[in-house]
Amino acid sequence: MKRMLLTISYDGTAYHGWQVQPNAVTVQGVLCEALEQVLKTKVSLTGTSRTDAGVHAKQFTCHLDCADNIPESAFLRGVNTLLPCDIAVTDCKEVESDFHARYNARGKTYCYNIYNSSIKDPFKLRYAWQIERSLNIDKMNAFAKEITGRHDFYAFSSSGRTVEDTVREISECFVTKNGDDIKITVTANGFLYNMVRIIAGTAVAVSDGKIAVEDIGSILESKKRERAGITAPPQGLFLEKVHY
DSSP string covering 150-186: EEE-GGGS-TT---S--EEEEEEEEEEEETTEEEEEE
- What spatial distance separates the first Cα and last Cα of the chain, rounded to whole Å? 23
Residue 198 three-state SS? helix
Out of 52, 86, 98, 138, which one is annotated catalytic?
52
Give the whole-angstrom CA distance, residue 145 versus residue 219.
15
CA neighbours within 13 Å on the CB side: how many for 53?
5
Question: Among this protein's residues, is 52 annotated catalytic?
Answer: yes
Q: Is the dihedral of CA 43, 48, 51, 57 positive or negative?
A: negative
Give the whole-angstrom CA distance, residue 165 versus residue 153.
9
Catalytically active residues are 52
